[in-house]
Structure 1
Amino acid sequence: MTPPSPRRLFKTVATAEAVTWSLLLIGMFLKYVTQTTELGVRIGGMLHGVVFIAFVLVTLIVWVDQQWPTRRGLITLATAIPPLATLWTERWLDRDGHLGSAWRLGAKGEATSPPERLVSGALLRPGLAALVLVVAVALLTGVALFVGPPVPTS
């Protein structure tokens, strides 16, 4: 199993994040404006939460592999918060050449730091890495569900 390139992986997850944001916004419209159903918020919210966590994890992996400066990585993470901003971010990163078509930490493994060694090891075993990512997303989603939504103070 060959992992998708950093460019393809990031583009896929950034697009999915924007799509699930759209679903959540539609659900919020149905719940709060038309007051017809809250099902859209339940489904859209859950999907968006899962994809949001995946976006954060993929961003961290690509950040380490592509050796982004801290500022670029933090801006990229922050763009998961406003609706649809990940689409702009993906285009910006791709246009400026910050999304490689190959993994830097691939088979040759030029890893020097612990985060680079972790990403390099994941790239050498992409099937196991994909499974670990799915489990990490599931666990983080479970924690978010356990903690629950923010409680309004008033």
Structure 2
Amino acid sequence: MDLKTAGALRRLRLISAPEAVSFLLLLVCSVLKRTTDFNAVPVMGMVHGVLFVGYVVLWALAWRSAGWGFGRAALLFVLSVLPTGGFFAERTLARECEEAVVAARTQPQEAVGA
């Protein structure tokens, strides 16, 4: 993997946790709307919607850049629609991003030595 792929993975990783937090906050706001007079659903819905669309766009870019198979890409998409799935996606992407950076840094050294 090259640094461009590592960058795509990093961007997806950076949006996955905030997207998961916004989903959880939206669920809390939905409960509060039905149990109290507090109604933050329109605001939190917009915030979550923007983050979710950003996640999907970055997911598609990372899929294309990293060359994932359908199963891997589908797993990361399904994690985005589960309330706490973004946290698991972030952890998985952190490992993959780190491996991509290490591979990209060692690749030019191998070419010079050959």
Class of the TM-score when normalised by the shorter of the 2 chains: 0.7 to 0.9
- Secondary structure (helix, strand or coil) at the match of 1:12 reads helix
CA displacement at 1:7 relative to structure 2: 3.4
- Judged with a 3 Å threshold, the aligned counterparts in structure 2 of structure 1 residues 54 and 17 are, in CA distance, closer, same or farther, namely same
Q: Which residue does 1:135 correspond to in 2?
A: none
Aligned residues: percent identity? 27
Gaps of 5+ in 1: 105-154
* Equivalences, count: 98
Q: CA RMSD in A?
A: 2.3
Quick one: distance in 2 between partners of 1:98 and 1:11? 8
Quick one: distance in 2 between partners of 1:37 and 1:10? 32
Quick one: distance in 1 between partners of 2:85 and 2:60? 17
Q: Runs of 4+ in structure 1 displaced over 4 angstroms?
A: none
Quick one: distance in 2 between partners of 1:7 and 1:36? 41
Q: Which residue does 1:9 correspond to in 2?
A: 11
Quick one: distance in 1 between partners of 2:32 and 2:47? 17
Larger helix fraction of residues: 2
Structure number with the bigger relative contact order (C-alpha 8 A, sep ≥ 6) is 2
CA displacement at 1:24 relative to structure 2: 0.5
Q: Which residue does 2:112 correspond to in 1?
A: none
Gaps of 5+ in 2: 105-114
Contact 2:15 2:54 survives alignment (8 Å) = yes
Compute the TM-score of the two structures, normalised by the length of structure 1: 0.56
